[in-house]
């Protein structure tokens, strides 16, 4: 499947990233000589994304100015200056800009270096709109940096996802990128809510699947994780 539109979630305040976010938004924190949002947008452009919607809130003017210097992909702004809408509400507000075909959605704190096969085309190629509303990119817990949680999901034999629930641990973490059917946003109000609500509704109908990435995943959520990611990046050729 060819996916040409993406939504980049860049409106968060980035409180866990302080003091690096005292004078900028999290999306503009530098990792290895490049802003987090540019790592994300470069990956999307390399996967064939021609248009990316970016939501803005914290230090919004600075982020818009930075984005205006990019050549690809084309950038559209979803303005959340007046109210931060969380991930689900942000998608609903941006829905008029997203079109009707499957899209990528990406967090700006997910970073990896592709191996022999790029991860985003692999994620897209496995998306079947007849069976799926979401296909989430997953990282194995033993193949991550900066993620200290107990894991999010189990992967069933048919590729569907099961939440960890009350179990003490699960083998996979959500790696911050997914393919989504924008139709799941229809009729919803642009109020603050988490994408977890969308997943749970779709999962009840068996329409949430997962893809396990081969690349080593770095979750850059705080200054220590940023420093660790920079050290890891130095090890790549």
Residue-wise pLDDT tens digits, 70-113: 999 999 999 999 999 999 999 999 999 999 999 999 999 999 99
pLDDT digits (tens, 9 = 90+) for 23-61: 999 999 999 999 999 999 999 999 999 999 999 999 999
Reported pTM: 0.93
Q: Where are the domains of the chain?
A: 5-234
**Superfamily of structural domain 5-234:** Spore Coat Polysaccharide Biosynthesis Protein SpsA; Chain A (3.90.550.10)
Q: Is pLDDT at 165 greater than 90 in this prediction?
A: no
CA dist., res. 78 & res. 146, Å (int) = 28
């Amino acid at each position: 499947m060819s996916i040409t539109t993406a939504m980049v979630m860049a409106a968060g305040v980035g409180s866990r990233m302080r003091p690096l976010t005292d004078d900028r938004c999290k999306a503009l924190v530098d990792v290895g000589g490049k802003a987090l949002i540019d790592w994300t947008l470069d990956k999307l452009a390399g996967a064939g994304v021609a248009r990316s919607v970016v939501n803005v809130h914290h230090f919004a003017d600075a982020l818009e100015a930075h984005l205006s210097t990019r050549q690809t992909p084309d950038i559209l702004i979803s303005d959340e200056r007046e109210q931060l809408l969380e991930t689900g509400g942000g998608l609903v507000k941006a829905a008029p800009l997203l079109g009707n075909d499957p899209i990528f959605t990406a967090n700006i704190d997910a970073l990896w270096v592709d191996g022999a096969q790029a991860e985003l085309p692999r994620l897209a190629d496995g998306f079947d709109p007849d069976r799926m509303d979401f296909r989430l990119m997953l990282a194995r817990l033993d193949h991550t940096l900066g993620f200290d949680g107990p894991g999010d999901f189990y992967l069933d034999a048919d590729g569907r996802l099961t939440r960890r629930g009350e179990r003490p641990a699960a083998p996979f973490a959500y790696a911050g990128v997914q393919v989504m059917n924008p139709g799941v946003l229809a009729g919803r109000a642009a109020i603050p809510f988490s994408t977890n609500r969308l997943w749970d509704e779709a999962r009840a109908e068996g329409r949430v699947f997962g893809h396990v990435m081969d690349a080593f995943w770095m979750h850059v959520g705080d200054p220590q994780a940023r420093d660790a990611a920079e050290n890891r990046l130095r090890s790549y050729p």
